[in-house]
Structure 1
C-alpha cells in the first residue's frame, strides 16, 4: 500500500484531495438507499483507500458526524442533523409554514409537502402525512425533479428565465413512468403556473396521484418555496384543493413578510 502524501503546513497536499474534501466524500457516500455502510463499502463508495477512510471516519465520529454500531457499520450521526437544523432557508420557513401545513393535512388526510429549490432540483424540507396516506416516492431531505413534481414545477415556473432555459434544453423524462417531456408543453405549463399561481401535476405510477402546489413568497417578492398537497387520483378534486393550497401558501408568505398576493402580477 502506498504511503500517504507528505503534508506541508498551510498548503494543499502535493497529491490527492484536501482532507475536508475527502471528509465530504465520506458523508456523500450515504444516501436513502445506503443509510448504513461497512468500512469497505464506505471506502468503495467514496473512492478513498480503506486506511484513510478508517482514519477520517474516526475523526468524523469524534465530532458526531458519523456513528458506528455494534455491528461495525457506519451511519450518519445526529450532530449533522443538529447543524442542518440551523439552516435559515429551512428552519425559519418551517416554523412559519408548519401550522398551515397542519391545517391542510387535517383537511386532506394525505400528504402536505414543503420544498425549496436547491441547484437544479427541489429539496423537500418538510412533509406532513396522515396515517392512511398513500405511498409517495420522496422523503424529507430528499430531492425532487423540478419538471416532474408539483412543487418542482412551481419552483421552476418562478425561477429566473436563464435558469428555466438551462433546464428546458435538457432531455427530460417523467419518472418512474420513463415518458419523455415535451419542451413546448412544459413551457406552456410554466406560463400557466405563473399566470394562475397554482400547479396541478398528475402521476400515473407507481400509484395514480394528483399534486396541487402553490408558490411561497418572501419579503423581497421572490418565490422561496413551494407548498403542495398530494392525494390519490380517485379522491382528487383540484378545484377544491387549489383554493386551500393557495390560501395556505399566501398565509405563509405573509408570515415571511411578503406583501404580494399569490397569483397576482408584480407591481
Structure 2
C-alpha cells in the first residue's frame, strides 16, 4: 500500500500502459484520476477500479489542448484536494511509415502537438499544484524512440526525445523543491497502440517477430511491467532518482 491516500493522476489511462498504471495505483491504495480522450473505455477503467474497492474518477482530456489539461488538474484538486503523483502516458505513434523528406506536415504536427506540447502542458500544470502542497512525483512515458532514432517515423522520435528533454530540464529546476520528475522509455510493449497501430503487429507476423527479436529476452513486454517501474519511480523507494530516462527494454539496449 505504497500509495495509501495519495492522489494519483494518469493520462492515457483507458488502455495499455496507462490503464495498467491506473489499476496498479488503485491496488496500492491510491485515489486515482483516470484521464483519456476515450470516454467509454476510461469510464470502464473507473468501474474496474471500483470493483476492487478502489476510488477513482474519470476526466476527459485531450492533452494537446491547454484548457483541457488545466481543467484536468483543477478537477483533480477539486475532487481530492491535492495532487501527489502523475504519470503522463497519453500519446500517439502515428499511422504512417515514411522517410523524413516525404513525411507530411499535418502528421508531423499532430504527433508534436500531442506527444510533446501535450506532455509539457501536463507537467506545467501538475508542477503548479505540487509546488502548493510541498512536493510530488511526475513520470512521463517517453519511448525507446526517445533514446535512439526510429526510421520512417521522425515526428515520433523527435517528440519522444523532446519528452526526455522536458523531464531532464524540469528535474533540475525542481530538484530542491521535493518534486522528482523522471521518464520511462519502453521498447516493444504489448499494447493496443503497438499491436493495432502504425505497424499493426497483431496482423503482421513478420513485424511482430522482428519486434520480439530486438528484445534480448525474446519476448514483448507487458503493460504491467512498465506500470511497475512507474509506481517505483513515484514511490519512496526511489527518493534519490530524478531527471532519469529509464529504459524498460528487455535488454534491447544492453
Higher relative contact order (CA 8 A, sep 6+): 2
Q: Same fold (TM over 0.5)?
A: no
Higher fraction of strand: 1
Larger radius of gyration: 1
Higher fraction of helix: 2
